[in-house]
Amino acid sequence: MCPPSKTPEVTLFTPTTNTGFNIAGTDEPHFSRRKEILKKYPQIKELYGPDIRLLPSILAIVAAQLSLCVYATRIENWAHFVFLAYSVGGTLTHWLSLGNHELSHNLCFSTTLYNELLGIFANCGQGIPSCVTFKRYHMEHHYKQGQHVTDVDVPTDWEGRFFNNTALKILFVFLQPAFYGLRPIITYPKPVLPKEVLNFSAVIGFDLAMGYFFGYKAPLFNIIATLLGMGLHPVAGHFISEHYTFVEGQETYSYYGPLNMVTFNVGYHNEHHDFPKISGFRLPEVRKMAPEFYNNLHYYDSWPMVLYDYITRPDMSPYSRVKRFSKKQRAEQEKLAVAVSSDSDDSSKEGTPRNCSPPRSPVETKKDT
């Protein structure tokens, strides 16, 4: 069932009402649910493993997108050029990005390298290198869902404070490709791997070759389509629907609608997090096998409506995410709290007035208000 849609009167400058993340004192929910489901339905393990159907799918989508890039070089009207890039190109390139999501879980070939090479090829159909770096961060999104710093899918505190009204939330959604691309390397940088250099060199080289043989409009169309398709676009609604807490007490949500046909079933997101070793092609079977574990959870049937609700509801913002801390992070917080308390006690005994605030915790722990 879908959560009730709230439709308060809003303006472009209606402020958001939450001022901090939802802090969880429990582990992420998927490990325990996976154990329960497998105990009752062990046959689900038969769905594990690569699905070669991903290979012809990606090859066909890349061929369609590159053909569209070449066709776009004939378009003289820039409005028509951008509209085609948004509508058709944005859908195709986003489809490829979710193909790379499947490949990051090694769900096409048994050999990791083959999945990575196919991911680089898919990136050529997007014009932007990303697949190798995405995989490095995405695995931690699964194993450490919502964990401070480590899960870079969670917005930063700055994003929550800055995008704090209706108009700015529209901008936030539009700029999703920038945040997904830059947030990891700014907040949680990792050493560059040779495979990332290969990914970058191959895709940029392909862009230059396209420009040389077909003119600059071909790679430009590809890149514009990718950026628009990841922003304020119907299929990009999954960025918001997957983990933003529209309903208190639930941190992952599924979508059961027609756009799953062009997203490798990424809408089956609870199922995916419960069973990341199962290909998107087979995820609907998980829900059919274990319906009692999913039908009682809130879900969506419209990604565009998710975007609309996110933008217009004052109680929704980049802060509408569950965040949790590792044992080490909690220990550091407790140690800092003890130090601050001790410093405060010493100051009180000395009778010396302090005209300063205690040092801030390195993490934001405020609850939504």
Q: Indicate whether 358 pLDDT > 50.
A: no
Residue 263 CA to residue 280 CA, distance in Å, equals 9
Q: What is the mean pLDDT of the chain?
A: 91
Distance, in Å, from the CA atom of 295 to the CA atom of 297, rounded to the nearest integer, reads 5
Q: How confident is the model at residue 220 (pLDDT cuts 50, 70, 90)?
A: very high
Instruction: Report if residue 16 sits inside a domain.
Output: no
Assess whether 318 and 340 both reside in one domain. Answer: no
Would 75 be classed as within a structural domain? yes
Number of domains in the chain: 2
Judge if 355 and 315 occupy the same domain: no
Q: How much is the pLDDT for 339? A: 72
- Same domain? For 358 and 306 the reply is no
Using 50, 70 and 90 to split pLDDT, how confident is the model at 366?
A: very low
Amino acid present at 182? L
User: Looking at residue 326, what is its pLDDT?
Assistant: 85
Confidence label for 357 from pLDDT (cuts 50, 70 and 90): very low
**Tokens encoding 278:** 């199962």
Are 165 and 235 contained in the same domain? yes
User: Same domain, yes or no, for 347 and 309?
Assistant: no
Residue 41 located in a structural domain: yes
pLDDT at 362 over 70: no
Listed residue (322, 323, 321, 315) closest to 369, CA to CA: 315
For residue 142, CA distances in Å to 183, 243, 269, 329 come to: 17, 12, 11, 19
Residues of the chain above pLDDT 90, percent: 85
Q: Could you tell me what percent of the chain has a pLDDT over 70?
A: 90
Q: In the prediction, which pLDDT does 344 show?
A: 62
Q: Is 242 part of any domain?
A: yes
pLDDT surpassing 90 at residue 360: no
In a domain, 264, yes or no: yes
pLDDT digits (tens, 9 = 90+) for 68-117: 999 999 999 999 999 999 999 999 999 999 999 999 999 999 999 999 99
pLDDT in tens, 162-194: 999 999 999 999 999 999 999 999 999 999 999
- The encoded tokens of residue 60 equal 């066909």
Say if residue 293 is in the same domain as residue 361: no
Model confidence at 256: pLDDT above 70: yes
pLDDT in tens, 33-78: 999 999 999 999 999 999 999 999 999 999 999 999 999 999 999 9
Q: How far is CA 192 from CA 92, 126, 171, 181, 333, in A?
A: 29, 21, 30, 15, 30
Domain interval for residue 347? 335-369
Q: Are 163 and 169 in contact (CB under 8 A)?
A: yes
Residue 11 lies in a domain: no
Looking at the fold, whether 297 and 162 belong to one and the same domain comes out as yes
Burial call 57-84: b when 16+ CB within 10 Å, e when fewer: bbeebbebbbebbeebbebeeeeebbeb
> Which pLDDT band holds residue 26 (cuts at 50, 70, 90)?
confident
What pLDDT score was predicted for residue 195?
98
Q: Which amino acid, residue 346?
A: D
Given a cut of 50, whether residue 367 has pLDDT beyond it is no
Alpha-carbon distance of 28 to 349, in angstroms, equals 43
130 plus 234 within the same structural domain = yes
Where residue 278 falls among pLDDT bands split at 50, 70, 90?
very high
pLDDT tens for 307-352 read 999 999 999 999 999 999 987 877 777 777 777 776 666 655 555 4
Residues 361, 319 within the same domain: no
Structure tokens at 100: 């790379």
- Asked if residue 232 belongs to a domain, the reply is yes
Q: Are residues 342 and 319 in the same domain?
A: no
DSSP-based three-state secondary structure for 299: strand
The answer as to whether 8 is a domain residue is no
The residue type of 282 is: R
**368 and 275 in a common domain:** no
pLDDT on residue 6: 54
Output the CA–CA distances (angstroms, integers) from residue 83 to 41, 79, 308, in the order listed.
Answer: 47, 6, 21
pLDDT of residue 369: 35
**Whether residues 363 and 267 fall in one domain:** no
What's the average model confidence in pLDDT over 20-28?
A: 92
Overall pTM surpassing 0.95 (yes/no): no
How confident is the model at residue 118, as a pLDDT?
98
